[in-house]
Amino acid sequence: MHPITVAVERGGVVESRHRVHGVKVGRGKVVEAWGDPQLVTFMRSAAKPLQALPLVRVYESLSDEEVAIACASHGAAPEQLEAVKRLLARSWSSEEDLECGPVDGSRLRHNCSGKHAGMLAVCAARGWPKQGYRLPEHPLQQEIARLVAEAAGVEEELLAATDGCGVVTFAMPLERMAAAFSRLAQGELEGAGRITGAMTALPGLVEGPGRTATEVMKALPGAVAKGGAEGLLCVGFPDGTALPLKAVDGASRPLGPAAGLVLGIQSLESAPVENSRGNVVGRVLALVDSG
């Protein structure tokens, strides 16, 4: 099967095209594929629900807001920043303890600050040093690497690099990402039910209105979805079906229409193209490439 083509039309003319690879896995087997299911790429922020597993394992009293923000790529909305602050308080930490870079002069406003706050909380609970918690040699990152490999069913050491926020990120084939989200969505990993419950209860906190992962969770109750930088989206369902989508050009724009097409979400299948005046001047839509 060829990759999904997402076309950008303006005035009835196709102005550009994106190519999106994806694979649907169910009951441990590939059900359908678009493009290369073995395409290797980094999970980036799509790994956040897995990176939050140590957090929910050491704290029983977390609110849904705290769990969701630990898995979030937030837009610095007031309710999102408040959730980050509450999670920071778990470890008696401050904004200065966050090892992500500042956005508009504030580390709290970085879209990964919730993940970082959760990592600080784990360090406090486990008696690990807070300084350098983001580095690959820190015991927290070593534990997360083991958990991600376990979730994905990868026996060898994961290919790792540094994410945009300074934390370790992992690369694997799309089919292995599907396996990880399948296990997450089915609750096969200790603490997974706590994470998926919070994310599906508060999809707007996880990313935000109009963001593809949030809109998928709103449209398909029970589905857990998370986006990652460079054009990645991972979706898992309680029945074990899972689907990662990867835009090879790294754009996020084609993910909504591609997800709408393969998941049957009509509201996402086409997205408007607007000019600076707010006028709709085109559309972005997905189709299965036949050649």
* Separation CA 165–CA 88 (nearest Å): 17
Q: Per the structure block, which two tokens stand in for 10?
A: 């303006």
> pTM for the complete prediction?
0.95
pLDDT at 1 > cutoff 90: no
- Residue 67 sits in a domain whose CATH number is 3.40.710
Q: Which two tokens stand for residue 83?
A: 């959730």
What is the predicted pLDDT for the residue at 179? 97
Measure the CA–CA gap between 112 and 100, rounded to whole angstroms: 7
pLDDT for 28 equals 83
Q: d(Cα 291, Cα 289) in Å, to the nearest integer?
A: 6
Query: In the structure, what pLDDT confidence band is assigned to residue 251 with cuts at 50, 70 and 90?
Result: very high
Q: What is the pLDDT of residue 72?
A: 98
pLDDT digits (tens, 9 = 90+) for 3-36: 999 999 999 899 999 999 999 999 888 999 999 9
Instruction: Return the pLDDT at 287.
Output: 82
User: Is residue 291's pLDDT more than 60?
Assistant: no
Domain count, the chain: 1
Mean pLDDT of the chain: 96
What is the C-alpha separation between 233 and 251, in angstroms, rounded? 11
Structure confidence at residue 161 as a pLDDT band (50, 70, 90): very high
CA distance 193 to 187: 5
pLDDT in tens, 67-78: 999 999 999 999
pLDDT confidence tier of residue 290, bands split at 50, 70 and 90 = low
At residue 289, the pLDDT reads 63
Q: Which residues of 231-251 are buried (b: 16+ CB within 10 A; e: fewer)?
A: bbbbbbbeebbbbbbbbbeee
Residue with tokens 């360090």: 123
Q: What is the pLDDT of residues 170-203, one digit of tens each?
A: 999 999 999 999 999 999 999 999 999 999 999 9
pLDDT of residue 114 exceeding 90, the answer is yes
R_g of the chain, CA atoms, integer Å: 19
Residues 6+ apart with CB under 8 A from 149: 155, 157, 158, 170
For 43-101, write each residue's pLDDT tens digit. 999 999 999 999 999 999 999 999 999 999 999 999 999 999 999 999 999 999 999 99
Q: Which domain holds residue 258?
A: 4-288
The C-alpha atoms of residue 248 and residue 127 are separated, in whole angstroms, by 41
Q: Tens digits of per-residue pLDDT, 199-223?
A: 999 999 999 999 999 999 999 999 9
Q: Tell me the average pLDDT across 276-284.
A: 95
